[in-house]
Chains A and B, each alone.
Chain A
Amino acid sequence: MIADKEQRPTAEELQLKSDEQTLFISGRIWHELYPKADPGLFLEALRREIDLSKYGEGIAKFYFTFVIMEELSPNFSNWVGSDYYPEKASIDIGIRLPYQDVVDGDEKAVIKLMEKALLEGIDTIAEHKQEFIAPFDYRAFKNDVEAIFENPDWY
């Protein structure tokens, strides 16, 4: 629906809200595997439970992408990897999940694969510690994310 005017934010308000966000969890997922693989669950849980500023100013924006594709031609190979951007203090991580395991797995198994991928992605932050513009305690960040996943009812 297009909501009533009173309720609807303006484009500027929407942009402001977006600028305030620090955690971005998305995906590049073959359409047949959505919503079986659902990054929205992770986005909502992390935004609810994690305050990124608590770990330091070295990372102000955390972008994470689940990549679930059977094949990735060379021109799309840069969907996977880990990059730090000092000018924005942002990190951009893409982790590929084993396609067949996602196809074969049930919802619970797929969530486990996604949890593993996200934690693996957080581990890549260590590769960039020399470039950080300020300290960032990535170990504490990972511990807190792990703690979320330890609760079997987190999603």
Chain B
Amino acid sequence: MFAPPPSSKRVTSSRSDVQVFSDNENGSSPNGSKWLLLLLLGAVLASGYIIWNSSKKIAPGLIETPDGEIVLSPEREAKRDRELEEIDNAIQYALVATIDGYYPCLSCPFGIKTIYLYKGNVWKYGVTRKGEAERYPGGNYGADNLLFLPMFEGTYSECLKREKTLIYNYPLLPEAIERQVILARPPGNKYDS
């Protein structure tokens, strides 16, 4: 039994929606067209590269005006202004307990991980230069049931100085001295800054 030789003509299968081609319509070799296409593609790429290489390259965020002047894009200008404003408009805040209860303790010694705070007790001092992505960021304060109390508005540098002073002076607060274990920092401040 021999299989019939492959036909060089167009063969249509018995299913009307499936067609099988062995050669192209006019009978020319597909390899010739393939090479021609490749050559054409190469030429296009090469000329594109030459044009790109000869023109001035501008980093993202910059634009060239019709007069040929290079300027910041409006988005980049807005970002700069926003960042400058953030440096001038910082807030030094305290996070205090909203209700009596246990809170995580990041500064407790002897492996203690939680601490009982009374309503209004300080959990953490911090500084922020911009609004968080979420207004109450689902516990991103570091614990639940905390209240954000802005204490000082000013430049970032001023706020950092205030924050540091408050963190270092925390053990002298009546609420800290009353405890049997006196913490060096507020419970939410793992470090001195």
Binding site for B on A (CB under 8 A): 1-3, 8-11, 14, 18, 21, 24-31, 34-35, 39-40, 43-44, 61, 63-65, 69, 71, 73-81, 83, 85, 88, 90, 92-94
Interface contact B98-A93, CB-CB below 8 Å: no
Binding site for A on B (CB under 8 A): 82, 85-86, 89, 91, 94, 96, 98-99, 102-105, 108, 112-116, 119-120, 129-132, 134-139, 143-151, 153, 178-181
Known contacts A26-B136, A43-B98; decide if A73 and B89 are in contact (CB<8 Å): yes
Interface contact A24-B112, CB-CB below 8 Å: no
Interface contact A44-B99, CB-CB below 8 Å: yes
Instruction: Write the chain B residue with the least CB distance to A80.
Output: B135
Q: Given A31-B150, A31-B151, 7 more contacts at CB 8 Å?
A: A1-B179, A2-B180, A30-B149, A75-B130, A75-B131, A79-B131, A92-B135
Hey, which chain A residues are within 8 Å of B145, CB to CB?
24, 26, 43
Hey, which chain B residues are within 8 Å of A74, CB to CB?
82, 85, 89
Known contacts A2-B180, A8-B102, A40-B119; decide if A29 and B135 are in contact (CB<8 Å): no
Q: How far is the CA of A92 from the CA of B137 in the complex (A)?
A: 8
Known contacts A31-B149, A69-B150; decide if A9 and B135 are in contact (CB<8 Å): no
Interface contact A26-B114, CB-CB below 8 Å: no
Between-chain CB contacts (< 8 Å), 28 pairs: A1-B180, A2-B112, A2-B116, A2-B181, A3-B116, A14-B114, A18-B144, A24-B144, A25-B98, A26-B98, A26-B136, A26-B146, A29-B147, A30-B150, A40-B99, A44-B99, A65-B135, A73-B85, A73-B89, A73-B153, A75-B85, A75-B89, A76-B91, A77-B131, A78-B131, A79-B135, A88-B138, A93-B135
